[in-house]
């Protein structure tokens, strides 16, 4: 009888360990996460517009139908990324996600405070390699450190009414995200 | 023989308990870091790098992207203020005011987070589309049949959920109470029997 009780206790404790391991492992082994879903329909290091949310075809659950959305799926292994998003009339935001969907940074048009949201995205190692030039680190150049080499940038523009959707989509169509071919700091330092 | 039986029992129990609890927490969620106001709940930390492992597991399993904290915060509900599950065949009224935000959107989803098809192609409202009373308060009728004023069609599905997203808002990780974030009341006013 004692042996049976001990067996059950051991089983439950082991079960707790299985639970913790599986919860922590789930983000690594999941194959239908947002990044995997978006991979076939988006280009790497370029802005791809997503079709507007619709009952029959939505790339992801819980999408907000009031927004035009575009995705920049990035890979920083070839160098830092430059992101330029013109602000729409209503509301524009840019959110950054790691490969495993952790939202590590988000900014909207008002917090950016400009007509165009301009950002440089790089890994921490690339950030450390930047020459320490005061002009380069000036406030007008916003640098975001990505915790992972790959990830997603989500660009959103509000269509306050369904009729404004084409305008919101058009403003996102003017956004760009591309790998910086030559190091930008050298160029800026010459000025 | 006995040792074998004991080992098999312990291991199968471990598998059952471990996978079972993981499945439960990944589908139903946990109360970790949850902000509850009326029947609405939000998890502001899911939009930050401090997200808890359970919310991460849920998000990855659903395949969704959580709203970032610098962008906004999302409140969901599956029941009215009397804890009655939201039923698409009933008349449900959302009324009152919303927390401070630059704007908000209200969206109706089925249990899996998909939009619900309807003839009007209306899946939600933005704060700018709403017809309001003179004092700024509003009423939204969530029902299967057409209503005057702000009508959000349910398509007649049995269970649905509502998501209220506040954008560019002070509501977030530090918010604790109804006073800081007054959420609209949800009342089931009638059900065809």
Region of residue B83 (left: phi > 0; alpha: psi -120 to 50; beta: else) = left
Task: Report whether pLDDT(A176) > 70.
Answer: yes
A187, pLDDT greater than 50: no
| Contact: A61, B54; criterion CB under 8 Å | no
* pLDDT computed for residue A140 by the predictor: 65
pLDDT at A138 over 90: no
Shortest Cα distance from B191 to chain A (angstroms)? 25
For A3, the closest chain B residue by CA position comes to B6
Pairing of strands A176-179, A81-86: antiparallel
At A59-90, the pLDDT tens digits run 899 999 999 999 999 999 999 999 999 998 88
Share of chain A above pLDDT 90, in %: 57
- Per the CB < 8 A criterion, the answer to whether A69 and A156 are in contact is yes
Predicted pLDDT of residue A128: 86
pLDDT of residue B175: 84
- Mean pLDDT, chain B, rounded, equals 90
A52 vs B43, more confident: B43
% of chain B at pLDDT higher than 70: 99
Give, for B37, the enclosing helix (H) or strand (E): strand B35-37
Task: Decide if pLDDT at B103 tops 70.
Answer: yes
Q: pTM for the complete prediction?
A: 0.88
Q: How close, in Å, is residue A147 to chain B by CA atoms?
A: 10
Residue percentage of chain A with pLDDT more than 70: 90
Residue predicted with more confidence, B162 or B70: B162
| Residue B163 three-state SS | strand
Tell the burial category of A139 from Cβ atoms under 10 Å away from its Cβ (0-12, 13-18, 19+). Answer: exposed
Give chain A positions within 8 Å (CB) of B102: 91, 110
- The CA-to-CA distance between both ends of chain A, in Å, stands at 83
A188 confidence band (pLDDT: 50, 70, 90):
very low
């Amino acid at each position: 009888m004692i042996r049976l009780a001990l067996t059950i206790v051991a089983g439950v404790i082991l079960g707790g360990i299985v639970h913790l391991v599986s919860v922590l492992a789930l983000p690594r082994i999941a194959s239908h996460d947002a990044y995997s879903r978006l991979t076939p329909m988006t280009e790497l290091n370029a802005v791809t517009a997503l079709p507007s949310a619709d009952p029959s075809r939505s790339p992801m659950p819980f999408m907000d139908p009031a927004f035009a959305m575009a995705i920049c799926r990035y890979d920083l292994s070839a160098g830092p990324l430059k992101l330029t998003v013109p602000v729409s009339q209503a509301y524009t935001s840019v959110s950054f996600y790691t490969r495993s969907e952790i939202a590590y940074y988000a900014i909207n048009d008002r917090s950016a405070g400009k007509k165009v949201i301009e950002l440089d995205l790089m890994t921490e190692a690339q950030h450390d390699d930047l020459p320490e030039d005061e002009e380069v680190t000036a406030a007008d150049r916003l640098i975001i450190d990505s915790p992972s080499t790959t990830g997603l940038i989500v660009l959103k523009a509000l269509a306050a009414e369904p009729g404004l959707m084409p305008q919101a989509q058009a403003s996102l169509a003017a956004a760009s995200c591309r790998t910086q071919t030559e190091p930008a700091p050298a160029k800026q330092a010459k000025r | 023989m006995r040792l074998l039986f004991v080992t098999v029992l312990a291991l199968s129990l471990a598998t059952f308990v471990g996978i079972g609890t993981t499945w439960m927490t990944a589908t139903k969620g946990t109360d970790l870091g949850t902000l509850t106001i009326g029947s609405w709940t939000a998890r502001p930390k899911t939009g930050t790098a401090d997200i808890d492992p359970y919310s991460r597991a849920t998000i990855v399993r659903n395949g969704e992207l959580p709203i970032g904290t610098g962008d906004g915060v999302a409140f969901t509900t599956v029941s009215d203020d009397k804890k009655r599950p939201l039923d698409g065949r009933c008349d449900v009224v959302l009324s009152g005011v919303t927390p401070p935000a630059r704007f908000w959107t209200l969206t109706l989803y089925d249990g899996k987070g998909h939009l619900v098809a309807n003839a009007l192609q209306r899946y939600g409202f933005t704060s700018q589309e709403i017809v309001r009373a003179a004092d700024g308060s509003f009423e939204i009728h969530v029902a299967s049949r057409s209503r005057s004023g702000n009508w959000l069609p349910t398509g007649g599905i049995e269970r649905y959920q509502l998501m209220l997203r506040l954008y560019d808002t002070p509501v977030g990780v530090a918010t604790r109470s109804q006073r800081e974030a007054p959420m609209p009341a949800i009342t089931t006013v009638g059900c065809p029997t």
